[in-house]
Amino acid sequence: MPFASGSSVTARAGVRRLIREVADFAFASECAGCGAPGAALCPGCEAALVPCPVRTHVGGVALCAGLAFEGVQASVLRAIKEDGQTSLIRPLRPALAAAVDVLREEAGAARRIDVVVPVPTSRAAFRRRGFRVPDLLARSTGIPVLRALVPTRRIRDQRGLDERERHRNVADALLADRAGGGAVALVVDDVITTGATCAEAARALRAAGFVVLGAAAVAATPRHGSGRPWGVGGTRRSILADLAGDPHDTQMNSG
């Protein structure tokens, strides 16, 4: 695979993180989902992470998330992003895998995915956390990861912007830094709110010659006011009605 990458330095860093994650998970003092004393995730909250894929599309891009961004699911994602509990990526893997499977099946059973491309996160978020959530998630898919997207300009914080403003905010904000040459790519993000960022990521990849299967995420925010995730129950409603109430906490992506 021409895109596969890695070095002994990243390998060592990976081993160190793995050891820390195992220790964090085993010796955590409380559950990230409900606060009950004990492990990083109690059995009840782990059960809340059983995938229930929600599917929609925006701007010609298929989107799928493994869970609704609410309750335990939202608490676990926040624990990763705000408290740095990267050990909790592991119990979220099935949700992302389910979303990937939905998109792959739609494209035809034999459809291959050459690379997963994480949505880029702001430099400020990376400095604060020391890791990029979409990258860790992308790695968990077992598909070669290609960090091909770079921001072309500063993006305003997406929080507080409505759907139209979000699309305008990220329009032409990303660039693929290499030619796709027809490689089949899947965009990966942690949480989909309006889909504006994923749609922009897909646009940039297609412009560079990638074939984009869609975008997969761990969770998607419920439709504003309805309390239900978009696309649930087989309806493929546009998420253009999704407004505000946004989990994203940085310029473009909380990553």
Reduce the DSSP state of residue 101 to 3 states and report it: helix
* Residue 32 or 218 with smaller CB distance to Zn ion: 32
Q: Is 42 a binder of Zn ion (CB under 5 A)?
A: yes
Q: Is 31 a binder of Zn ion (CB under 5 A)?
A: yes
Least distance CB 94 / Zn ion (angstroms): 17
Q: How many CA atoms lie within 13 A of 9 on its CB side?
A: 0
* Residue 46 or 157 with smaller CB distance to Zn ion: 46
Q: Is 39 a binder of Zn ion (CB under 5 A)?
A: no
Reduce the DSSP state of residue 106 to 3 states and report it: helix
Q: Is 79 a binder of Zn ion (CB under 5 A)?
A: no
* Residue 2 or 38 with smaller CB distance to Zn ion: 38
Least distance CB 82 / Zn ion (angstroms): 17
The dihedral through the CA atoms of 89, 90, 92, 96 has a sign that is: positive
Under 8 Å CB-to-CB from 12, ≥6 apart: which residues?
none
- Identify the CA nearest to 254 among candidates 89, 135, 113: 135
Q: Which residue has the tokens 């074939």?
A: 211
Q: Is 247 a binder of Zn ion (CB under 5 A)?
A: no
Q: Is 33 a binder of Zn ion (CB under 5 A)?
A: yes
Q: Interface residues with Zn ion (CB under 5 A)? A: 31, 33-34, 36, 42, 45
